[in-house]
Amino acid sequence: MGDTRAFAELEKREWSEPDVAGAYASGFSKASDMVVPHLVAAVDAGPDTDVLDLCCGHGNVSAGLVGVGARVTGLDFSAAMLELARAAVPGARFVSGDAMQLSFPDASFDAVTIGFGMPHVPEPPRVVAEVRRVLKPGGRIAFSTWCGPEVDGAFGYVFGAIGSHGSPEIVLPPGPGANDYADPDIAYPVLEAAGFGKFRCEVVASCWHVNDPGLAFDFFRDGTARGGALLRPQPDVHASAIRAAVVERVLENHGDGPEWIIPMPAVVISAQAI
Ligand SMILES: C[S@@+](CC[C@H](N)C(=O)[O-])C[C@H]1O[C@@H](n2cnc3c(N)ncnc32)[C@H](O)[C@@H]1O
């Protein structure tokens, strides 16, 4: 991949915004919360296991791990997210750090979870290599990633609408594909090269329950880094057209309401350290 410095800066800047962190925790993450039990099960977490939760955000996966009795260390580079996580999950330890460069000794964890972190790091293979280093042999890694626009769901509605109605001047710096690590053909070779085997892949039917079909747009605009960087600067005329197109897709595919279940399907990929 080329120069990803601008992408890395955008990710750090956006997730460090307390408003973005708060909006992610109160809105967008209702879908990612549904994936938590699948991540917890995929790494066989339980009592007396030491689990590292990378890109822990506001602590939803950490909370799930604490719930099954694991000793949990959550790591994130956003102070705003860590503040939310510490308040929400007093039973876990939260530390500031970069998922691509871990400060933990070799073989110090039984399992590692990464809830929707892979799309946000400039070089996901570096994270996988670091995870392998800090995992004990036999330990498991599991990461979740949203399915791409080819699968029916809000991700496709929003990014499709940006493609059709967004201002052409607003573009993202080069970075990894947002849905790359939902694809076993991309994820498995990276895992294998880092020293993992026994791969598993599960599709999770996560979704949002909403009473306004436009919330799919609002959640991306207010509570994400990449979506927000594309949506927040849109001039009003473009923003309104994008939101209207999203609403149209929701009504077309999911009925007239007054409540909607908007799909946000995800993939959980897991593997074992050899
Ligand atoms: C989409 S949120 C995921 C939050 C939570 N794990 C979940 O499953 O809902 C992504 C998180 O990754 C963090 N993040 C992104 N890049 C990171 C990096 N290189 N190192 C540490 N944290 C990072 C962001 O600050 C943000 O909290």
Task: Give the single-character DSSP code of 24.
Answer: I
In this prediction, the residues of the chain whose per-residue pLDDT falls under 70 are 1
Q: Whose CA is nearest to atom 1 of ligand 1?
A: 116
Write the residue with the smallest CA distance to atom 15 of ligand 1. 120
Residue 14 near ligand 1, beta carbon < 6 Å: no
Question: Which ligand 1 atom lies nearest to the CA of residue 78?
Answer: 25
Q: CB of 141 closer than 6 A to ligand 1?
A: no
Alpha helices for the chain (secondary structure H): 5-15, 18-23, 29-33, 36-42, 60-67, 79-88, 124-134, 154-165, 184-194, 215-223, 226-231, 236-254
Contact 68, 45 (CB under 8 A): yes
Index of the ligand 1 atom closest to the CA of residue 39: 8
Tokens read off for 162: 């940006």
Whether the full predicted model's pTM is greater than 0.75, yes or no, is yes
Q: How far apart are CA 190 and CA 226, in angstroms?
A: 23
pLDDT value of residue 2: 77
Closest atom of ligand 1 to 100 CA is 19
pLDDT tens digits, residue range 178-207? Answer: 999 999 999 999 999 999 999 999 999 999
Domains and their CATH numbers in the chain: 5-149+173-207+264-273 (3.40.50.150)
Percent of the chain beyond pLDDT 70? 100
- Candidate from 13, 65, 76, 102 with most ligand 1 atoms within 8 A of CB, to mutate: 76
CA-closest candidate to residue 71, choices 91, 101, 43: 91
**Ramachandran angles phi, psi of 43, nearest 5°:** -105, 10
Say how many Å lie between the CA of residue 183 and the centre of ligand 1. 19
State residue 1's pLDDT score.
Answer: 65
